[in-house]
Structure 1
Amino acid sequence: IDERRDPYLSTQKATDYLKDLYKVYGDWLLVIAAYNCGPGNVNKAIYRSGGHYDYWKIRRWLPRETRGYVPAFIAAAYTMEYHKEQNIPVAQPKFTFQNLDTVHLTKRTDLSAVEQYTGVSQEELAFLNPSLKKGVVPASFDGYTLRLPLDVMKAFATNRDSIHHASQKMVADKSDDEEENESTATKSASGPGNDMAKINYTVKTGDNLGYIAEWYDCRAQEIRNWNGMYGSRIVPGETLTIYVTEDKINHYKKVDDLSFSQKQAIESKQDQGVDVTTVNASTTAEEDECDCKIYTVKAGDTLWDIARNYDGVSTTELKRANNIRYSSSLKPGMKLKIK
């Protein structure tokens, strides 16, 4: 949890700090300057100006950023106060405190479990609770206040025990996965097994070991071991040795000929539990036949961000239209259908 990212708590702390600064300077412009560059720099500027406690008289001795920060603050405050007179339209927030409620949690709660039982997407939950850095409310004696849309409070209260149980199961499953990965890493260190076949992959522009490992259902460290690599640097045109299971070698041989978006689309299907070894490469080009808009995912995108760019589109509709089960399945280069 990073409470600095919580708009309510961070604003409360900021206003407390501003009040303390006003007790020192007795002038709000000097307070804003000190908030930006620190009281030490303001005190130095006051001294160099001959003891003036007037922002405009000490401005020349302040850091360049602060000389621009205070006028910008004044302009922002003026715009907020007189936006009607200046015919400046005001954007209404998607959420207000009038249609939100809170619930106090002391047990570990995973936002994916909350999504499962309330229907509120993880992106929306993260937006409402920005201090949660990893999508999880940690267990604590003092607890954490989780913000939720008012209309799902009944669903949360009804399924509260199920949500906690699901969160505990996720922890157990994660521990099992970590043990399995550790076991796999130990085995892979000694080389490929007898049921593995060797194929080659030619590195393309934009590739990295993480992507390649996903496309061939292996680990990046295995690729390093197979190719005698000590780092993660690869260059376009370089040939990598990859070992895959013999019974699926025909599927993996096709990967080298696919475009980046096609490979990412197949990986997305695999995240949804589809047997990608039976997927024909041509089916990944569905955007050519879709009577809809196509959006190419960029680095840092979330379903929540993408949905907000299209009127009437929700994250649930995006998941349904693109067969996405988890938000974490999004990867740069993926093509999303917007209906």
Structure 2
Amino acid sequence: MNIKNTTLSFFLLLSVTVFSQELVENKDIVKIEPKLSYLDSIKKTFVKDDMATCVDSLWMKELTNLDLYNNITDDIKNINIDEKVDYELPTALLKERLAAMDAKSPFNIEYNQGLENIIKSFLKYRKKSFERLMAISEYYFPLFEEALAKQNVPLEIKYLAVVESALNPKAVSRVGATGLWQFMYQTGKQYGLKIDSYIDERSDALKASESAAQYMSNMYKIFGDWDLVLASYNSGPGNVSKAIRRSGGQQNYWNIRKNLPKETQGYVPAFLATMYIYEYHTAHGIKPDRAIIKHFATDTILIKKQMTFKQISDLLDVPMAQLQLLNPSYKLNVIPFYHDENHFLRLPQEKIAVFVSNEDRIYAYAEHELNLREKPFQVTKPIFKRDTVNYALQQIKLPKTAYYKVRRGDNLSEIADKYDVAVSDLKKWNKLRSNSVPYGKSLKIITEQSIVRTVKKEPKEETVPLETVSENQRVATSEVKVNKEEELASNPERKDIEYVVQKGDNLGNIAKKFGATLTDLQQWNNLSDHNIALGATLIVAKNEIAITTDKASFSSFKKKNIASVSKKEAAEYYVKKGDSLFSIAKKYPGVTISDIKKWNDIRGEGIKPGMKLKING
């Protein structure tokens, strides 16, 4: 037994020693910190707000759920209010409660069998739906009441949004009515709601509520009865007027109901039944779900640069569903930036605090994300700077496709000469198997267009090499003297060069593009910082000459600005097997097929091995 204990103690002591050594060794290991992404580096600098979040993700999902809207819409469309419903609610008690509601309301809330049937139907089949709706209404009803009170419209109209959209700002009917108040496109436009590719204010709770209140006020001036106003909101004032005429001039909703469209026949009863259930929900055992967020717990901030919900969600740790609920009018989950309009972002108050405290960092991240997008290829006009004394000519090559319609008597060789291209290329571009080409055919000819620009040299006279213009027209490299006074005399017209800011531009890449400095651009355009607006016109060069050339204008430019060109002496070339005029011309910079033909009196493409050709400088 003692031997066992001794052995066990020895092993324990050895294990402790080894473990201790490992701990000592691990102290020397350097932990490698993972590289932070740009998003994480931005968020790491944020000023934190310890305020607990007031939005529960499950409740946010509930607010954007469309099943309530679908269920209530189906009920109103299909319910038969003349069919009795078996539910425990004494008629006498219902009459008493309706009379109490009528005393406090400008609506005509009178008992009738149809209203009793629909109230009992809602209580029997839609109790759970109303528990959820009452939670959502805690967010929207204060906002509705504010808009209705401004227009002196009865506050009970707020229950109409429950019937219209089940309080879902993204609800869209089968005919295109949209938002909490189900505005049609033309009606929304008529009442000043903005609708474009980015924004649909029919889904904006505040603005749509103001428009709905204005509509109700206008309809009351026509009908003078709030029940008829509700009917006109659903079916249009024209259908209500027709129902009045068909009813012999009667103007009580219940007297003209049978002459209204079928959906409108159940519309006002559904509104009154909803009002009753909200008023007496406790008596019927309806317990509203909890409302995690209320409208007064949110706030708005002016957005100064285009941002996406994804960027805001990543930066502020706000669920996308929450952003969509609080900002339902932004159709593409993008908050646009227009120069002539203000757009606002609604957030919970504690997130507003984070946004305001870190606004510069947030916009910097949005700019960073924008710059990562692929930019379209842009070609800008190169320029001659006024204060430049000597120039080295450079070119930007751009492909250019032309089409030539074959005329009577044309052949491929002459057409190739005309455009300074090889016959073999003509055949390849147009899939020709022989040198014959039919009369009237359009031939595709690919050439290159060069844009000539200058590079500033030392402020003294010096020789400048002239680079090639294109593959098919090469200019001999020569030493050129360009004098500032001659250039000023020959090009008297100078002006500032302007550039319109494109999407994705920043001051740095514009300066690089035009060979200017950031300081120059800021001075020329009176900029206090590096911020520039999309579509703004910037001066990118002062008192300069813009030149873009093709072959003809480039030749004119050479004659005008080149003082002297050294010429090479004439050379002789003996044709080898496999040679063509095109391959020979490529051996001599600045020499074309036409030049060789002219110097050697050659017609067509015919040359033979051993033939001596004269090549001038």
TM-score w.r.t. the length of structure 1 is 0.50
Which structure's residues are more often helix, by fraction? 1
TM-score w.r.t. the length of structure 2 is 0.28
